[in-house]
Structure formats: structure tokens, C-alpha cells
Structure 1
Amino acid sequence: MASSWCKVSPIIHFFVLYLLVASSIRPVHSLDTGTNLHATNQSFRPEEELKKLVMIRAHLKNINKPAMKTIQSPYGDIIDCVLLHQQPAFDHPQLKGQKPLDTPERPEGHNPTGLVIEDFQLWSLSGESCPEGTVPIRRTTEQDMLRASNIRRFGRKGARSRVRRDSSSNGHEHAVGYVSGEQYYGAKASINVWAPRVANQYEFSLSQMWVISGSFGDDLNTIEAGWQVSPELYGDNYPRFFTYWTTDAYQATGCYNLLCSGFVQTNNKIAIGAAISPTSSYNGGQFDISILVWKDPKHGNWWLEFGSGILVGYWPSFLFTHLRDHASMVQYGGEVVDSRPSGFHTSTQMGSGHFSGEGFGKASYFRNLQVVDWDNNLIPLSNLRVLADHPNCYDIQGGINRVWGSYFYYGGPGRNVRCP
């Protein structure tokens, strides 16, 4: 494939780097010692531990809703089938007493590709399913919360003001493609799924799509969806389908999946946060998931579609400030946390764990990158730019062809002879 991509202007480069730092999960150890469950230099304090346990159980009672049916995944997850109107979203004051909205108008030019089956998640291999009128929600356990570096912010990314900004060790590395400079009303991509090795519990590897608006300050709005491997959040190394949103640069609003009120799920077959199957293999079969996010022209809400026309749900427009209107940037790509274990660069992999130059079947990819315009038309990208923070550790190469449209390969192994 012939590859071509645009060079990055200094101004755009600055804003993308700013966003990448702002969107990062906070560093490994909490600065709030009152909620740091992993501190090694503190003696055991029964009263404090009891207080934490009470806090955890109160939070679990709030987010784990009564189940009409419970399904035990063969791979460890517990899936609760919760009535549509009792899901966490309807705890929000502006949603109380309401019902989920009907199916919105799809963007023109949308021809679903990629996954054509719905049983892409490991929990569905049990043969059980959730009844109509319910949504499947992965149950959060005490163990999930006890793994968290800060239980007060469980299920949330770190506030921008607490992310270290020195260029040598902000702890997060990225390889991304992006477009900016126009008004965007949605985006679509097919994302190659792998199971990258994550070096320790406090690191992660993800591949996702960001729909972004705001000034890249405290008013940053984002909608995010993709897959991630996060041992801290989920307790294992399976890639999982996830969503995220924020309206204040990750400070006080938003969360992963359904861990707070916000995203309204409408589908009874997909559990957000559940493990994905199958995954791609080196020099073997390749598997990707197609994700579409777009703004409903009638009601203004941002809808999420998975695979071949499967509606997952929506983010109500009132959650946002800038995204009530449109997005100003769309970003696609990978991110890892580098906690520099033993003083060296992490060996946590991004994507397949191989560099972009190895190409199809070896390197991870995003393909068929598109955006939604003001008239609800899904159109190809015309100005994809690519950026890698540390190309000796993780890199990216973009291109365009007749089959894949705009695409890029990306990823890497982390620590190697050129990335010490």
C-alpha cells in the first residue's frame, strides 16, 4: 500500500499534545493519601480501612442496580440484566422519570461494515441473554474498587490539574491520527482488536476514537469509545469494549462505561466494559470492530453504534457544553501508561505490540476513517495528520487507498534497544 500523510503544524502539534496530557488517566499513585489503597509506607490503620470499606459498599449500592436476571460469564464477569429505566443514567436529575429515546436517523452514506454478529463478547458465550426491556451491565465488585489507586475517583480519568506536565515523565504515550479545523457531527472507524501485554496492574493499553470540542482548558468536552486492556479497572488482561465522556477536562464530570449517570444504553445484547472475543493474532486472523458516533439531527444527542448497525445507546446533549453544538476535532489511535517499572521504559504493548512498518497481519490498524458533516452525511477524511509521542517506543504511519479509505498502522513493543 502506498502511504501518505500530512505533516503537523506547530500550533496543531501543541494542541494535540495538550489534549493528550489532559485526557490521560492520573499517574499510578494517588496524591490523596486518604484514599490511596496501595501506599507501602503507611502502617495498617483499622479505622481508616473500615471507613474505606463503608465508602466502597455505599458506592457499589449506588451503581449496581437491581437485576431482573444475572448471568455468570465463563470468563469471570457477572452481568446484571437491569430494567431500562433503572440503569445508572436515570439517576441524573434531568433524566429522572424519562424513557430512552427511539432510534435516530442514521447518517447518509452509512453502509455498516465489519462485525456482522452480535455475540462478540465473552459473556454471551454462556448461551444466556438479557430479556427485552433490560440492559446488560457488568457488575462492579469490591475487588474492582480495592484495586483502584484512588477510590474517590473510581471509574474516572484523572483531573487535568493533577497530571504531571514535565515532558520527561507524564506517564502517558500516544500514537494518533486526527483531523481538525472544521465542524464535525460524528466519526466512524474500524479498529483492529488485539490483546496487548500490559506490564503491571497500574498500566493500561487502549485503542479508541475521541470526538472533541472546547478550548483544551477546563471546558474540554470529549466522547470516547474503543477497546482497552486495564488490569486495574477490570482485574484481568482481556481487551474490553468501553466508552467515556467528560465535559470539564476530566475533573468532576464523566466516567467509564455506566459507572455514573450519563450514557443511556438502549441495547440488551451488548455489555459495555465486557471482554471482547475473538482477538487478532500475529500472522494469523485479523478481527476489527466498527464504531460510529454521531449527533442526532432531531434531538441533538450523540448516539453510539457498534458493528453492523447495532445501536448501543446515546449521550444526552445536556451533558455537554461545546458538544451541544458540534465537535472541533476527531482523534483516533492508541495510548499506554508508562510507569517506568525498575527505572526503565515499560514493556506494555500498544496495539499488536509491533511497529507500524510491519503492516497487515502484524501491526495494528485503524481503517475506513470517516466523519459526519453538518448535513448528517458520512464522508471520508481529507486531511488526516499523524503524531507519535515517542516513535522509538510506539509509532504510526498513515495512508489512503481504494479499499480502506483513510487508514493508519500504529503501535509498538514499548521497551526495546531504541526505547530504553
Structure 2
Amino acid sequence: MSLFLNSVRSLLVIQLLLAISYGIINVSASSDAGNRQVSALELEEIKQYLESINKPALNSIQSPDGDIIDCVPVDKQPALDNPLLRNHTIQMMPSMIPTYRGGNYTTNTENVRQLWNDVGSCPNRTVAIRRTKIEDVLRAGSLSEFGKKKLSYRSSTLTSPPPGHEYAIAYPESTQNQFYGTKATFNIWNPDVEVSGEFSLSQLWVTAGSYENSDLNTIEAGWQVYPLIYGDNSTRLFIYWTANAYSSTGCYNLRCHGFVQTSNSVAIGGALSPVSTYGGMQYEMTLLVWKDPGSGNWWLKFDDALVGYWPSELFTRLSSYATSVNWGGEIVNTSPNGVHTSTGMGSGRFPAEGFRKASYIRNLQNVDSTNTLYPVQSISTHADHPNCYDVKSYEDTDWGVSFFFGGPGKNSLCT
């Protein structure tokens, strides 16, 4: 299989070079974009970018969901091309993993997985990277927009969002302003997304700085459905980061150089399966992001897997600690003329429907300066379009402090 995939890759490169030699080609970027003219210069730039992001692999795995997972030597991964990491030494393990003080929360659910693990595995000292294809770049419209946030976030907050972005979120109800990480359990859904340029996600945010000063630093992780990025409607694990309010730094997953991966079993951007069903089995993932006290790097844990970290060198305001954490859902509404999108958030159902029907984030915990996890005591919630997507706090002895959120988008009260 590895030899076959390497042959396919070589053939694609040859095809690109032939296309360049003829000057201009016609490429179908997506079902929404249709055919568009791609110049020889643009095609050459894309080719060079793909060579920089798709590092040579020891072997490759064809996933049942259509992805190709490349097993790249850990010291050859794209993050190390970032000039800020020129002298970076890879930290294969955190110095400490946060310990927990509090009760043990359980529920009748099962963990989600990534299907490529069913058909292959990456060897030790490699990292599992989802291959980026030329079609992925073409769907973005330009190389400069590829993997970036589509709308300007300047002078925006989660409770005063940028145009088109709608939230249903929760945040700690306290005066605390120093956080060293957060942990939460998410149930996984596959909401309908109306058009390719819209997305639906469930995530956590760890932030410091501000939009107003253009020094907002964020670390983000969760699940999303985003056809423009991935070319399909699968639910996928994602990460994002920025060091200057989404202005010129940061991107989704590994599409710009920054996040250092250490896992050979988790592919960032890889599809998650199975997803929860309405009234049926609920599938979950647990994410933990924390600042390693030994290195200062911000680590990501997905269920039991240490995925990797955001090096401290990437950040300014997050170099010491975060000043806020948030959890919740977000969609993008691109519908014209004031007609609201039918893109769903969470399960596509309102939070009042509860367990097995609505999307939730449960067992909210934060990390303190002693690298200890502690249960969140209370939360505040915010929904900027509650007739479209709402949020409702919840707490019991099994779940700790939690909340349900989401909605269908367009309906009789959301038009």
C-alpha cells in the first residue's frame, strides 16, 4: 500500500508539472465553486506549499473514510519549519500531567475513534499526519486563505461576535483571571451544514490578550464539520491557534507551521467515528489542554493520547498563563439578504431536549498554578441568537458542572 501511495504521489507531481508547462488549467475546486482558471504561477505556488506541508513519509495508510494518513518522522514534521522553532528541541513527553482533585464522573456513553486506526498504524518515532491535497487548497479560493479564519475578528469577542459568527457558550462564573489549562468531555454529532463555506463546531478556547490591542492569543480544540476545509461533511478533530488576534498568525490543524505533534495514533483533522444518534448511543471525546510547568509549552491530550503541544515560542500573552477559558458551539452564517442559515449547531436540537438528543459539554475542569485539575463550581452562559441556537447549564453528581447547547438554525422564530 505504501509503495502504491508513493507512486500516486509521484504521478500527481508529474501532472502538476505538465499543467504548469501549458500555462493555465481548468480545475474543479468544489461543487460550490465550480470550475475556475488556475494560472501556472498559482499552481506552482500550491505545488511548493504541498511539498512543504506533506513531508516524506515512512509509510502511508488509506483510511476507510477517504483520508490518507502519512507516517512522518517526528523530527521532520512541518512545525519545525517555523522560524520561531529553528532551535526548538522536541519535547516527546510533558514534564507533568495535571492531577485531579474532585469526584469521578461517569455516564452511559462510549468513546469515539478514528477509522484509520482500524486498518493500519504508524511506527514509533513518527507522527500521523492527514495528507493535504491540491483540491483542499483550491476550495479555499487562494493559498493565502487556505486554513485560515474566513472573517475578520478584530474588535470582537465571544459575546460580541464578528459578522456571520454565532455562538452558544459557557465560561467560569468567577473573578479568577489566571488559568493554566482546561478539560472537558464533548459528545460527538454530525450536524447539517448548509453550504461549503459554513461550519459547525464544538470546542474549548484558552485565551489571553485582547482584540482591541491586536495581541489576542488563543488555543482552540474540538470537533467540527467544515466542507470548505475538508471536502466532505465528516465530523473531524481540529485545533487552531493565533498569536495576534487572527490577523497574520495561526490556522486550522497543521496547515501552518506551529503545533508540534508527538502522537503516532491521532491524526489532527482526521474524521471521528461513530457519532451520537438522536435518542440512541452517545459517543464522546475528552480534551485536556494545559501549560506544562517544566517547559512552558501548552499540551493537548485527546482521551488517553498525548497528541502534542503548542510551543511557548509561538505566543506572547499565553507565555505565562491564560486569562480566560470558554467552552461551547459556533457556526458561520453566510446566508444573504438576512435569511438565516439552516446549518445546525451541536445535534441540531435545542438544549431543552436534554441527554441523548441535545449536544453537551460535561465535567468542566480547570488547571491551577500547581498543575492540579479542579472542578468548575459554576458557569455563566451566553447565546447571541437564542432563537437559533441556545445554551442551558446543567449539574448533577454524575456529570459535575456541564451544559447543553445547540439548535437547528433557521426555524419559525429564527428567520
TM class by shorter chain equals 0.7 to 0.9
Aligned to 2:169: 176
**Alignment-derived partner of residue 262 in structure 1:** 258
Amino acid at match of 1:326: Y
**Matched residue pairs, number?**
378
Query: Could you tell me which residue of structure 1 aligns to residue 19 of structure 2?
Result: none
Residues 252 and 418 of structure 1, relative CA distance in 2, 3 Å threshold: same
Q: Which stretch shows the higher mean deviation, 115-124 or 277-286?
A: 115-124
**Which of the numbers 371, 377, 383 marks the counterpart of 1:382?**
377
Q: Structure 1 counterpart of 2:195, which letter?
A: N
Check if 1:407 corresponds to 2:402.
yes
**C-alpha displacement at 1:114, in angstroms?**
8.5
Q: Does 1:124 align with 2:137?
A: no
Structure 1 range deviating more: 353-362 or 380-389: 380-389
Shift of 1:49: 2.7
- After superposition, give the CA deviation of every residue in 1:102-135 in whole Å (9 maximum; x if it has no partner): 422111217797899998112223x211111111
Aligned residues of 1:85 and 1:99 also touching (Cα < 8 A): no
- Cα shift at 1:84: 0.1
TM-score (norm 2): 0.85
C-alpha distance in structure 1 between counterparts of 2:110 and 2:363, whole Å: 19
Aligned pairs (5 A) from 1:6-405:
49-96=39-86, 98-104=88-94, 105-109=96-100, 120-125=113-118, 127-158=119-150, 160=152, 170-179=163-172, 181-182=175-176, 183-217=178-212, 218-307=214-303, 309-340=304-335, 344-405=339-400
The 1:164/1:145 distance shift into structure 2, 3 A limit, reads farther
Distance 2:308 2:192 in 1: 30
| Identity score, percent | 51
Residue 158 of structure 1 deviates from its aligned partner by: 4.0
Residue 311 of structure 1: SS of its match in structure 2? strand
The answer to whether the 8 A contact 2:140-2:229 is kept is yes
Q: Deviations over 1:148-205 (max 9, x none)?
A: 144312112246367999x898111110001264210000000110000000111100
What is the CA-CA distance between 1:82 and the residue it aligns to? 0.4
Contact kept, 8 Å, 2:106 with 2:398, in 1: the verdict is no
Question: 1:58-104, CA deviations, whole angstroms, 9 ceiling, x for partnerless residues?
Answer: 21111111111011111111111100001111112343364421422
- Once residues 100 and 241 of structure 1 are traced to their aligned partners in structure 2, the CA distance between those partners, rounded to angstroms, is 23
Tell me if structure 1 keeps the 8 A contact 2:153–2:162: no
Residues 187-243 of structure 1 show CA distances to partners (whole Å, capped at 9, x for unaligned) of 000011000000011110000000011133310000000000000000001110011
Distance in 1 of aligned mates of 2:106 and 2:84: 35
Amino acid at match of 2:164: G
Q: What's the Cα RMSD here?
A: 2.8
What CA distance in whole angstroms lies between the structure 2 residues aligned with 1:409 and 1:323? 29
Residue 51 of structure 1 and its aligned partner are, at CA, apart by: 2.6
What amino acid sits opposite 1:133 in the alignment?
R
Q: In structure 2, what is the Cα distance between the partners aligned to 1:185 and 1:74?
A: 38
The one-letter amino acid paired with 1:64 is: N
- SS for the counterpart of 2:274 is coil
TM-aligned CA distance change 1:113 to 1:249, over 3 Å: farther
Q: Which runs of 5+ in 1 are unaligned?
A: 1-36
2:60 alignment partner, SS class: strand
* Partner residue in 2 for 1:24: none
Residues 168 and 102 (structure 1), Cα distance of their counterparts in 2 relative to 1, 3 Å cut: closer
* Partner SS for 1:85: helix
Secondary structure at the counterpart of residue 152 of structure 1? helix
Residue by residue over 1:360-393, the C-alpha shift from the partner in whole angstroms, topping out at 9 and shown as x without a partner, is 0100000000100111110111231100010000
| SS of equivalent to 2:100 | coil
Q: d(CA) in 2 for partners of 1:108 and 1:226?
A: 22
Change (3 A) 1:291 1:119: closer
TM-score (norm 1): 0.84
Supply the AA of the counterpart residue of 2:411. N
Q: CA deviation at 1:343?
A: 5.0
- Distance of 1:267 and 1:193 partners within structure 2: 21
Structure 2 partner of 1:12: none
Amino acid aligned to 2:262: T
- Give 1:9's aligned residue: none
Q: Which runs of 5+ in 2 are unaligned?
A: 1-28
Which amino acid is 1:270 matched to?
Answer: V
Change over 3 Å in CA distance of 1:299–1:235 after alignment to 2: same
CA distance in 2, matches of 1:212, 1:168: 15
Which residue identity lines up with residue 93 of structure 1 in the other structure?
P
Give the 3 Å change call, closer, same or farther, for CA 235–286 of structure 1 in structure 2.
same
